[in-house]
Structure 1
Amino acid sequence: MKRRTAREKAVQCLFQIDMSQVELPEAINLVLEEQEPGGTDYLMFLVEGTLKHLPQIDEELKKYLRGWQLERIANVDRAILRLAFFELMFEPELPEKVVLNEAVELAKLYSDDQSYRFVNGVLSSFLQERPQTQL
């Protein structure tokens, strides 16, 4: 499975878990129509990592919402932002621009014009304001 596909499936899993309160194995089964080439290791890494660090991610994410509450933003946007924050906060070897671009592309795919701009703004603010020695 390509990393882009894994990110897309990870957002779908996080959305399912957030909305339907399903367990991780069920969420994975719901988003995988068929077994993807290359396995699901990266998908599992992304979803498990995001869920493991969710309190830290949400705490940091809330600082950059500016006038929004986390619970009030669209569920799919929340899933995209949580995944991007996980990658930015806990995967320092990933290029920041890649994470930002992938998140914006996911928002374009699953949300509207305003959502991808919102996602871009939140992530750009985080990247500009965070200390370079973050985590």
Structure 2
Amino acid sequence: MNRHEQRIIAMKSIYQHLLLDKDIRKCVYECMDGCNEIDGYLYSLTIGTAENKEKYIDMINPLLRKDWSFDRLSILEQTILLIAFQEILVNETPKAIVINEAVTLAKKYCDEDAYKLLNGVIDQL
């Protein structure tokens, strides 16, 4: 499984975790079709993101427009931002790659202009 595919699984897992307040391990297990073994990179993108989400939310809020807050974003936008912060801050993935992947996911799964907001926020990190 390549990194892009892992990011999609991470996005689905974190999305379920945020939307349903479901245990992240259960979300990952279900998204992996019951497979118990996951790659370390996917583990970081899922479990690591869930463990650090409050810290990342605190970092994201000041990067948004003054009249916006993290809670005002769609759950998918929140998910992509959280994963992006995990990738940059913990996995040390180059920012350009993270932005490209976030924009790609947003264009496919989010509202039409969401990618612009995500690009702007991640670029400020």
Q: TM-score range by the shorter chain?
A: 0.7 to 0.9
Alignment coverage as a number of residue pairs: 122
Matches of 1:74 and 1:104, distance apart in 2: 15
1:14 alignment partner AA = I
Instruction: Say if 2:56 is the partner of 1:73.
Output: no
Flag structure 2 segments of 5+ consecutive residues without an equivalent.
Answer: none
Matches of 2:91 and 2:98, distance apart in 1: 10
2:2 alignment partner AA = K
Please show how residues 81-120 of structure 1 align to structure 2 within 5 Å: 81-92=81-92, 94-120=93-119
Cα distance, 1:34 vs. partner? 7.3
SS at match of 1:63: helix
Q: Which moved more, 1:43-52 or 1:12-21?
A: 43-52
Instruction: Find runs of 4+ consecutive structure 1 residues off by over 6 angstroms.
Output: none
Cα distance, 1:78 vs. partner? 0.2
| Structure 1 residues 54 and 34: alpha-carbon distance in aligned structure 2, compared to 1, 3 A threshold | closer
Matches of 2:12 and 2:64, distance apart in 1: 22
Question: Is the 8 Å Cα contact of residues 106 and 114 (structure 2) preserved in structure 1?
Answer: yes
Larger radius of gyration: 1
TM-score normalized by the length of structure 1: 0.82
Percent of aligned pairs sharing the same letter? 30
Cα distance, 1:49 vs. partner? 1.2
1:89 alignment partner AA = L
Please show how residues 2-17 of structure 1 align to structure 2 within 5 Å: 2-17=2-17
Counterpart position of 1:20: 20
SS at match of 1:53: helix
Root mean square deviation of aligned Cα: 1.6
| Structure 1 residues 108 and 33: alpha-carbon distance in aligned structure 2, compared to 1, 3 A threshold | farther
TM-score normalized by the length of structure 2: 0.88
Flag structure 1 segments of 5+ consecutive residues without an equivalent.
Answer: 128-135
Question: Is the 8 Å Cα contact of residues 25 and 47 (structure 2) preserved in structure 1?
Answer: no
Cα distance, 1:33 vs. partner? 4.1
